[in-house]
Amino acid sequence: MKFESLFTEEESQELDRLSVSERGTASRLLMGLAAISIFQTWKNKFEKAGGALLLCGSGNNGGDGFALAHFLSAEGIPCRVYYKNGNLSEETAFYKELCSGSGAKLFPLEEFRAEVWNRNEVVVDALLGTGFHPPLSEEIAGVVEELRKLKADASSECFILSMDTVSGFYPGSPEPFPSDAIAEIGVPKLTNLFLNDPGRERTFHPIGFLRKEFSTKQKVLVRASKKELRKRTERKKDSHKYSNGSAVFLGGSEGMAGAILSSVLTFHEAGGGISLIRTPSPVTLQKVLKKDSSLMVKSFSAEENPFLGSFAGKAKVFALGPGLSLEDCPTHPLPEKTPVILDAGAILSYSGAKLGPNVLFTPHLGEWSKVIGRACSHVLEGWKEATQWTRERNCYVLLKSDVSVLCTPEGDSYFWPHRDGRLAVMGTGDLLVGMLAFFLSRGHDIPEAVRLSLSLFASAAEFSEGHPTAGRIRKNIRKVLFHG
């Protein structure tokens, strides 16, 4: 499976410590490596603008800013540095003196105002790092307000480059000011995954950390290309309906026929071979047959076991929950080997049941809040609970939000950072169930099925103009897999 490692602030600090204490790399060198890498990457931008205005805090992020100011000044690019007084580390103090000696002009941070910016300057934000926790100090809050004013007055002309992260940003809170680019240092950081501007330019700057050898539990799923999706969904010439994927779907209580239909039709749009719909509603049964008489549908009562029967014995995956009420949801023991997707109406019913590594819950934040018994306003809050819950219950949880995360029984977390506002519409969760059912029925393990499903979902949305319905997104699956 394709993924990239992702690091928390604590892990980033540990890598820094290991580099210094065990490898003998001087902290001053790491700071210089970060600055010179950013200088080389952004050199043309600074040269074209003709100058730089740097805002430096008193911590190591400010030290990175001082070091960058030194390299810029040494190359003849005029620099002005507004810096925060404080107890500077040895490395930060070193680069502060170095940049001053290179010709940079230094001013107290409290003197910074939006009006002091010159149109020939790139603004460099080196105030705070990813270790920030609210609230902002009064001094930094004042600078942030001036940056907001600056971008409001000269948005198209003023370019702000943030070093490592947007200063003062904390996941779940609004970004403190608009930043045009981020130069991420050392390791890809979890905090930056939640910055909400997909158009922002990002560059990454390794500084010698042995991150490939460092064990981390967080990963970022790499989006599958359309070419890979087509390869993963193609049918062999000698295939048959069962080898192309077989699934049982349970849902569609009274008044919710659309949900189960969306899941099943998505399963077949992706290439699923054969399915059976079990529904407690006679009306849903009739609507399914009216929609497509080739679909197999059978009535169901909560007393029945949906995991038994001739077709259930052949099915490669079970999907319970789309359009299913709590009253209609069964509570029979789950299969021990066949993958089971628990969505919507099945989530609460099975949250207290005996689970296993073949079980995938797919709650959004509201549903997850009900499972754990407390409100979660941000995916990071829910994630912390989910990592423990999945280990204890020996199952998977795909926590759905603008940034989604899959938590595994082994304690790993796979983040999906590819936001798309077109997916913020009712019914898209039902589509995702159909995609997951398809890839699981074709033999992919749960993490890979999640990666491929979210990739197909994103690609189908990209073919949609404006604000499409879930039905329109579903129909675009054909464009992705056959015509895109």
Co-location of 112 and 182 in the same domain:
yes
Long-range pairs for 73-78 at CB < 8 Å and ≥24 separation? Answer: 73/99, 73/102, 73/103, 73/104, 74/102, 74/103, 75/39, 75/43, 77/46, 77/47, 77/50, 77/51, 77/52, 78/50, 78/51, 78/52, 78/103
**Total number of domains constituting the chain:** 2
**Would you call 407 helix, strand, or coil by DSSP?**
strand
Sign of the CA dihedral running 461, 465, 467, 468 = negative
The beta strands (E) that lie in 188-338 are given as: 201-205, 218-221, 246-250, 274-279, 296-299, 317-320
Residues 205 and 298 in one domain: no
Out of 191, 216, 241, pick the residue that ends a domain.
Answer: 216
d(CA 82, CA 106): 6
Give the 3-state secondary structure percentages of the chain, helix then strand then coil, rounded to 5: 45, 15, 40
Distance CA 299, CA 280 (A): 6
The answer to whether residue 3 is domain-embedded is no
Of 216, 248, 281, the last residue of a domain is 216
- Provide the strand spans (E) within 321-473: 340-342, 359-361, 396-399, 404-407, 413-416
Question: With 0-12 CB in 10 A as exposed, 13-18 as middle and 19+ as buried, what is 36?
Answer: middle
415 forms beta bridges with 220, 405
Q: At what angle do helices 365-372 and 379-393 cross, to 10 degrees?
A: 50
> Which of 216, 234, 262 marks a domain boundary?
216
Distance, in Å, from the CA atom of 281 to the CA atom of 415, rounded to the nearest integer, reads 37
The pLDDT value recorded for residue 240 is 84
Looking at the fold, whether 106 and 240 belong to one and the same domain comes out as no
136 domain residue, yes or no? yes
Phi, psi of 7, rounded to the nearest 5 degrees = -125, 140
Tell whether 251 and 170 lie within a shared domain. no
Regarding pTM above 0.95, the answer is no
Looking at residue 29, its pLDDT comes to: 92
Q: Based on the fold, state whether residues 189 and 271 are members of the same structural domain.
A: no
Sequence-ordered list of residues with C-beta below 8 angstroms from that of 16, at least 6 positions apart, any chain = 27, 30, 186, 209
Q: Which one-letter amino acid corresponds to residue 122?
A: V
Q: 241: which residues sit within 8 A by CB, 6+ positions away? A: 273, 274
- The first and second tokens of residue 279, run together, are 């529904």
CA–CA distance, 421 with 402 (Å, rounded to integer): 8
In a domain, 221, yes or no: no
What is the model's pLDDT at position 441?
A: 97
Cα–Cα distance for residue pair 30/47, rounded to 1 Å: 24
Question: Does the residue 335 lie in any domain?
Answer: yes
Are the C-beta atoms of 59 and 164 separated by less than 8 Å? no
CB atoms within 10 A of CB 296: 14
Tokens of 26: 């001087």
Residue 484, pLDDT score: 55
Q: Which residues contact 327 (CB under 8 A, 6 or more apart)?
A: 253, 302
317 and 403 in a single domain? The answer is: yes
Ordered mean pLDDT values, 10 residues apiece, the chain (484 residues): 90 88 85 96 96 95 96 96 92 94 96 95 96 93 96 89 96 92 95 86 92 90 95 87 93 93 95 95 92 92 91 96 94 94 95 94 95 92 94 96 95 90 80 97 97 95 84 91 75
User: Token match 């749009």: residue?
Assistant: 269
Q: What is the structure's pLDDT at 213?
A: 84
pLDDT of residue 211: 86
Whether residues 71 and 49 fall in one domain = yes
> Domain of 392: which CATH number?
3.40.1190.20
**What confidence score (pLDDT) does residue 419 get?**
76
Q: 58 by DSSP, 3-state: which?
A: coil
- Predicted local confidence at residue 465, as pLDDT: 79
Beta-strand ranges (E) seen in 206-323 are 218-221, 246-250, 274-279, 296-299, 317-320
**159 and 256, same domain (yes or no):** no
Domain check: are 342 and 261 in the same one?
Answer: yes
Q: Which domain holds residue 461?
A: 226-483
**Rounded CA separation 248/240 (Å):** 17
The confidence score (pLDDT) of residue 37 equals: 97
168 part of a folded domain: yes
Residue 237 sits in the same domain as residue 360: yes
Same domain, 437 and 326: yes
Q: Are residues 113 and 262 part of one domain? A: no
The dihedral over CA atoms of 462, 466, 467, 473, expressed in degrees to the nearest 10, equals: -40
CATH value at residue 35:
3.40.50.10260
- Helices of type H across 22-89: 27-49, 60-74
2 located within any domain: no
Q: Which residues contact 97 (CB under 8 A, 6 or more apart)?
A: none
